[in-house]
């Protein structure tokens, strides 16, 4: 085996290791973002007669259907009541008795227009006393959205995940394999452009009636962080087009772009998103005109 062949084999092995590391970092950040987002189901547990029951409360619903709320059914002698009202209103709480269905207690939240929100809690009356779910003082908040076809949603999600994957890989290349750094950075920018600035607004329009709710039209964190990441990678890739820029400077900018991307990416998805203003709705405005952007 020649020295050149050995170096080529070592480079391929290093590339595989860096891809695996990039994938693990991307997957970890994606899971963290998903689990901490405001639309992720709220998980917890309660205890009845010495037995613990785990629950999962919905925080996202469709505008075309009532949203079922489910709890484990501890059995005879336990009755549940769902209390809800429109979010950020002075409405009185509406009480809905929960019905037993098999091993679950169920009640339905009424569907709301796109970006409409309800806040709700559950009270269980048991032989051992009353249980409030969730135990924390704040109610659960659920947001409703219009349907987004999978042919739009899945490519958007895929492009954004791969943009993060290639972005992390670009940063690792800047540190350990600089010969491939530029290629990976340009691919990350291209994926982010399609996924974030083309498909992202289309998903937003289908779900909540507006293509863009970030700067300068609103404060939607998802849109704003997408714009920020895109601009950061435009700057990073622009460094490859400028003359007189040293290699270490290009590498430093790409590493900085990757670090910023990782930091921004873990900001919970859908935070400070579109929200229906019920006061405008009560004054006769159409639902689409009563949506506040971020």
Average pLDDT on 147-168 reads 94
Is the pLDDT at 6 greater than 50, yes or no?
A: no
Q: Whose CA is closest to 225, among 260, 256, 198?
A: 260
Lowest mean pLDDT of 32-41, 45-54, 201-210, 248-257, name the range. Answer: 32-41
pLDDT band for position 276 (50/70/90)?
A: confident
Buried b (16+ CB within 10 A) or exposed e, 116-141: bbbbbbbebebeeeebebbeeeebbe
Partners of 117 in the β-ladder: 143
Other CB atoms within a 10 A radius of the CB of residue 196 amount to 21
State whether the Cα torsion 202-203-209-214 is positive or negative.
negative
User: What homologous superfamily does CATH list for 49-145?
Assistant: Immunoglobulins (2.60.40.10)
Pair of tokens at residue 292: 């506040």
- What are 32-69's pLDDT values in tens digits? 777 777 788 999 999 998 899 999 999 999 999 999 99
Q: β-strands 60-62, 140-145: how paired? A: parallel
Which residue did the predictor score with more confidence, 218 or 270?
Answer: 218
Instruction: Give the H or E element holding residue 256.
Output: helix 247-265
**Domain ranges in the chain?**
15-37+148-292, 49-145
């Amino acid at each position: 085996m020649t020295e050149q062949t050995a170096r080529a084999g070592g480079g391929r092995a290093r590339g595989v290791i860096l891809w695996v590391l990039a994938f693990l970092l991307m997957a970890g950040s994606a899971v963290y973002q998903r689990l901490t987002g405001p639309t992720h189901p709220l998980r917890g547990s309660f205890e009845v007669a010495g037995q613990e029951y785990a629950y999962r409360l919905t925080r996202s619903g469709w505008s075309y259907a009532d949203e079922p709320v489910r709890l484990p059914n501890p059995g005879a002698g336990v009755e549940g009541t769902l209390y809800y009202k429109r979010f950020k209103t002075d409405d009185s709480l509406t009480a809905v008795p929960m019905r037993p269905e098999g091993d679950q207690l169920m009640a339905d939240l009424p569907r709301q227009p796109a970006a409409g929100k309800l806040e709700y809690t559950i009270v269980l009356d048991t032989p051992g006393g009353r249980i409030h779910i969730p135990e924390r003082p704040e109610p659960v908040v659920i947001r409703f959205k219009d349907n987004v076809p999978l042919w739009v949603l899945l490519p958007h999600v895929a492009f954004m995940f791969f943009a993060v994957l290639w972005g992390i890989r670009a940063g690792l290349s800047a540190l350990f394999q600089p010969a491939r750094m530029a290629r990976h950075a340009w691919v990350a920018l291209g994926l982010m452009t399609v996924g974030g600035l083309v498909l992202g607004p289309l998903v937003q329009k289908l779900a909540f009636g507006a293509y863009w709710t970030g700067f300068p039209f609103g404060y939607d964190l998802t849109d704003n962080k997408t714009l920020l990441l895109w601009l950061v990678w435009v700057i990073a890739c622009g460094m490859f087009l400028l003359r007189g820029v040293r290699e270490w400077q290009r590498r430093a900018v790409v590493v900085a772009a990757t670090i910023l991307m990782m930091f921004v990416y873990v900001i919970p998805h859908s935070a400070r998103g579109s929200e229906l203003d019920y006061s405008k709705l009560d004054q006769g405005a159409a639902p689409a005109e009563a949506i506040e952007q971020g």
